[in-house]
Structure 1
């Protein structure tokens, strides 16, 4: 997630330079062909380009609103996961009959769930963050499963049921803690839905093709009114459309290990620190902070 208040022009150009280069080529070719096309045709073409640009603006606006909705839903899922994890930690701390080792195991394992879900959504292998939270046998067992985050929840459920069978957990608390595991599973399922259900590709292709046609016609249509001055104005207008399209294209995928992602590293580390503090641990990992360019992962 980009957290800086200022985004330099250099950074924006770095994100969109291939499209800007194509736009520059289109504009130069169009300005080179000014003398080959009648002025009346160029001026008439400007009306068609204006209508096309208006329609394209509506398409990009709709797409960006939908993309932001997907990004915001992902952020709400992870925020809810953080709150539910804290509630789970408080409930585990209230289990006076359970020994400290079991409580520590439950909370460390839940912190590992946040980190493993983080890596699972980004299609990355298990990270070093999980090494101190899971036992070696548990870590090996989890990695053999198709869905490692779900495997962690399964281990949590087995531990709770064993506590209930040993008389260390009453039925009311068992139901309450099981409900928390159900909500963790709902968060996992919601994240998988966003990950595996992309924005309709037919709509994306149509918008991209329309954008290419518009960027090609824009300098030609402006040349009928502005002559060679159409070169800078075409670049300015085209850049605005290209950057708006870029924003929607990247925020619609919040789990792709990019700078526009939901800051899952930050949220996972926050969950880990909160649960470790509940256990009274003092040697805590440092919080995740924005990197030099203002990116929070």
Structure 2
């Protein structure tokens, strides 16, 4: 997630710079031909260009809104993940009983709590196409990690392991039926949030829509100078470049937002949120040596 808006502006401008080069060359060529040969005979009705520009504006507005909805839904889902992770540990601590072996109980409680933190990291990396078990050795033991190496969905297997240990607590009467159901509901909410993130990640924004918008923008730019042949060349160049730059800029912003888990600077900061969950869980377990929060680097929070 970009925390410095000025960096976002320059980053997007940098992305638009390359598509603007052929447009710049074309507009300069048309202006030069107009100055030399006078293109009034090829005057294109400005009313038609106005309609085309309006259509492009509406299409870009729809695309930007749709992209922002995807980005905001991803952030909302991860907000729910943070809250339900805290709820999971709080419920485990408050509901379960130590039974006949307090030491074994404390070990299981710590294991299930830290596994929830591991789940957040695994989900974050899995959504970004990275190794989901990387860096989990501080949270779960190596034997358990080895069991996930051949898994096709490590976050789902981590939740399954939580459910199995939850059943063990219920079978040993360390949880009553009501408490078991409440904890199972928390697991279900976590599963739903994971499914929502996977749905966003596995359902790309239609590429044909982007190509259509790009085609309309370039078509608009192709005819725009011919609608401005009656104005001075500097005005023609300025208007043609500024309008095309504005359209391409909005389109690039939509591209940045449409895939919130693609490991771009504008993505949902899932790694930073996972670290927040880890810090909170370790505090709830009574630990005092806590990992540092992840801070923005060059205006980008990962």
Whether 2:179 is the aligned partner of 1:178: answer no
- Which ranges of 4 or more aligned residues in structure 1 deviate by more than 6 Å? none
C-alpha distance 6-260 of structure 1, shift in aligned 2 (>3 A):
same
Residue correspondences, number: 295
Distance 1:140 1:30 in 2: 65
Distance 1:286 1:224 in 2: 63
C-alpha distance 9-254 of structure 1, shift in aligned 2 (>3 A):
closer
Aligned counterpart for 1:204 among listed residues 207, 210, 213: 210
Q: Which moved more, 1:180-189 or 1:98-107?
A: 98-107
CA contact (8 A) 1:71 1:262 kept: yes
Unaligned runs of 5+ in 2: 100-104
Whether 2:297 is the aligned partner of 1:296: answer no
Distance 1:66 1:285 in 2: 37
Aligned counterpart for 1:240 among listed residues 223, 237, 246: 246
Distance 2:76 2:9 in 1: 30
Q: Which moved more, 1:110-119 or 1:8-17?
A: 8-17
| 1:154-181 deviation digits (Å, cap 9, x = unpaired) | 1101111112222222222111111111
Partner in structure 1 of residue 39 of structure 2: 38
Q: CA deviation at 1:36?
A: 4.2
> What is the SS of the residue equivalent to 1:224?
coil
Q: TM-score, normalised by structure 2?
A: 0.91
Distance 2:69 2:145 in 1: 35
Q: CA deviation at 1:7?
A: 3.9
| 1:98-153 deviation digits (Å, cap 9, x = unpaired) | 61111110111000111100001000013654220111121121231111100100
Q: Which moved more, 1:126-135 or 1:64-73?
A: 126-135
> What is the SS of the residue equivalent to 1:225?
coil
> What is the SS of the residue equivalent to 2:232?
helix
Distance 1:151 1:185 in 2: 11
Q: Which moved more, 1:220-229 or 1:268-277?
A: 220-229
Q: TM-score, normalised by structure 1?
A: 0.93
Aligned counterpart for 2:158 among listed residues 152, 155, 178: 152
> What is the SS of the residue equivalent to 2:230?
helix
